[in-house]
Structure 1
Amino acid sequence: MNEIELLREWDADAPPLSDAARARARFRLHQAMQAPAARTRFPVHRRQLLRVGVACATAAAVTATVVVSQDTGEDAPRTRTVSATTVLRGAAAEALRTEKPLAPRDDQFIYTKEVIERRPVSGGPVKKWVDESWSSVDGSKKGYVSELGHKQWVPVFQPGQSTWPPSKWSELEKLPTDPGKLTAALRDMGGKPDYGRPTRADEWPMVQIFLSGLLRHSVLPKGLRSAAFEALATAPGVKVLPGRTEFNGHTAIGVRYVVGPPGTSAKDGGRLLLFDAKTYRYLGLRERTTAKLTSKVYEQSQYIVADGVVDRVFQRP
């Protein structure tokens, strides 16, 4: 199932979803997951839900490894063995090194520019979209989103409405930057976190969704993005793609989320999170997707090329 095609059908001008409607939407979006998903008190903003769906592939396995070829200029290439844990913890360190010292005001907007490319698996030309979106930091102003070229205004939040990840900087700052505490806070969302209790296997799918959605947020408080990568490095069920691939001009390592145990109908999530093979910087996402109307199968790549904080819609950093 292609979540982007599903989300394009959603009406951003509709009133907030009921608990039952949100539950049905989560089931459709993550029906491949075998573990039960905890219900959330957050009505999901259309753009944020897209980000969660796009990024929910993120997680890690502590045992999976891959041999990555290195070009050394010698006759025979050397190899090095890396694990998903190594990649994600490397991504955490890179996030700390490159994070932006930004603190947006509630009256500002988060700007994101994302490129999506589709190539038919059976062969044919590549179709490309450049989507630009402006999301109100606190939801008090109309935003503007583009998804696969489909553009529309997003209305202001209704009283009591919120999003995941939180838009308000004050709410983001309340999230722990300790990886273990962050996991517990997301697992026990809506109540008092039990920091001393280990996270059960059946609780990880929803925790991974929250963590992955958090990582798709363009601007985060200092240390929070790194903590999310570190937390994902402890999650079960992800493997490294054997070999190496090229992505947007980079030699990349792929991390793939396995959504179910061997033998189930949803053995493999089919998505790859791609990281730079040298620095482990997160590059973007690659997956196979099926067009709803034509059933044609595509290889789809998407990556963010610009983001930042601006004062108004259509302004760019």
Structure 2
Amino acid sequence: MNELQLLREWDEDAPPLADTARARARFRLYQAMQAPAASPTVPRRPLLRIAVAAVAAAAVTTTVVVAQHTGTSPRSETVSATTVLRGAAAEERRLEKPLAPRDDQFVYTKEIVKETPVGGGRSRTYVDESWSSVDGSKRSYVSELEHTQWVPPYQPGQGDWPPRRWSQLKKLPTDPAKLPIALRDGGGRANYDRPMRANEWPQVQFLLSGLLRNPVLPKGLRPATFEALATVPGVKVLPGHTDAGGRPGIGIQYVGPAGTPWADGGRVLVFDAKTYQYLGARDQRKAGAVTYEQWSYVAAHGVVDRVMQRP
């Protein structure tokens, strides 16, 4: 897509970019600066939802609280990011209900976002419902903090990466060892004989995280994504996190190398402290001089035949 054309079409009345959007923009600039001058530009369309730019994992170990009320004091246990993410993959395989949408259908997502000003203040809860065209041939209707808009169909040569098209998603390997390489190589013909380089991991974790934002994936792809994240260097385990209902959880946060958008750490993915089931994410958002603590999770999703229809 021509970025100058996007600039010309920019709506000056639109709300300011969230921190995750700014991080994504910085990362794309960073990648462009690192790429050879002769490297071709891959056409793409803006993601319907701003892609998460913040989780990955390595075998970083810390002590986290995994049980409460054991008689005298909370019981602690040493848990690694690898353990948490592999546990999340196992739980996903146990619970997943595979869907296979047709190209003419829509993926429905209902996301709940709760924000509280840092330092105290009134909380606000947003309910975002979105309908995304499966193959991009129809207009999609999306919501971001209850700011809604119609997104036009794909133009020839346009698309998203990671892809939303079901035909493209089905081509991605469900082998967690191959998935990062397939994403690194753009989803085309992957060179599985060439190992990952250190400077390629930030982009790969970005793309893996983007896959997790898609609520509907082919069977086995989400568990593989969790397991692939467990191989990415740069994650730490954070104790003391809870979900919206106050249940104890384990946080996973990616911290990238200097010069990347995640050098100071990204958003935190929260997993159930006992089952490792994914619960949602904690993040921060700045609006002017105000910083908000943000909790978000997907409350419902499914496949429907038309916009405004719910599963």
TM range (shorter): 0.7 to 0.9
Q: Structure 1 residues 44, 188: CA separation in 2 closer, same or farther (over 3 Å shift)?
A: same
What CA deviation, in whole Å up to 9, does each residue of 1:187-219 have, x standing for no partner?
A: 111653111222111000111111111111111
Moved more, 222-231 or 35-44: 35-44
Structure 1 residue identity aligned to 2:295? S
Give 2:95's aligned residue.
98
Change (3 A) 1:162 1:69: closer
| Counterpart check, 1:245 vs 2:241 | yes
Distance, in Å, in 1 between the alignment partners of 2:23 and 2:240 is: 35
Scaled by the length of structure 1, the TM-score of the pair is 0.83
Structure 1 residues 27 and 73 mapped into 2: Cα distance closer, same or farther (>3 Å)? closer
Cα offsets for 1:99-158 (capped at 9, x unmatched): 122100000000000111111112110011100000000111111011111111111111
C-alpha deviation, 1:277, in angstroms: 0.7
Equivalent residue number for residue 183 of structure 1: 180
CA–CA distance in 2 between the matches of 1:190 and 1:221?
15
Give the distance between the partners of 1:10 and 1:285, measured in 2 at CA: 29
CA contact (8 A) 2:58 2:81 kept: yes
SS at match of 2:148: strand
The answer to whether the 8 Å contact 1:112/1:132 transfers is yes
Distance 1:282 1:36, change over 3 A: farther
Q: Which residue of 1 aligns with 2:151?
A: 154
Deviation at 1:45, TM superposition (A): 3.1
* In the alignment, structure 1 residue 140 sits paired with structure 2 residue 132: no
The separation in 2 between residues aligned to 1:39 and 1:265, in whole angstroms, is 23
Alpha-carbon deviation of 1:67? Answer: 2.7
Provide the residue aligned with 1:316 in structure 2.
Answer: 310
Name which of 280, 284, 294 aligns with 1:300: 294
Q: Provide the rounded CA distance (Å) in 2 between the counterparts of 1:272 and 1:25.
A: 15
Pairwise mapping of residues 207-218 of structure 1 onto structure 2 (< 5 A)? 207-218=204-215
CA distance in 1, matches of 2:40, 2:114: 33
Cα distance in structure 1, aligned partners of 2:148 and 2:106:
17
Contact 1:36–1:202 (CA under 8 A) maintained in structure 2: no
State the identity as a percent: 59
Identify the range of structure 1 (159-168 vs 232-241) with the bigger mean alpha-carbon deviation: 159-168
Letter of the 1:61 partner, please give it. A
**Contact 2:242–2:270 (Cα < 8 Å) also in 1:** no
Distance in 1, matches of 2:207 and 2:261, equals 24
User: Quick one: distance in 1 between partners of 2:250 and 2:40?
Assistant: 33
How many pairs are equivalent?
A: 289
Deviation at 1:165, TM superposition (A): 2.8
| Matching of residue 285 in structure 1 with residue 286 in structure 2 | no
- Aligned-residue Cα RMSD (Å) equals 2.7
In the alignment, the residues of structure 2 paired with residue 251 and residue 31 of structure 1 have an alpha-carbon distance, to the nearest angstrom, of: 37
Q: Distance in 1 between matches of 2:262 and 2:109?
A: 32
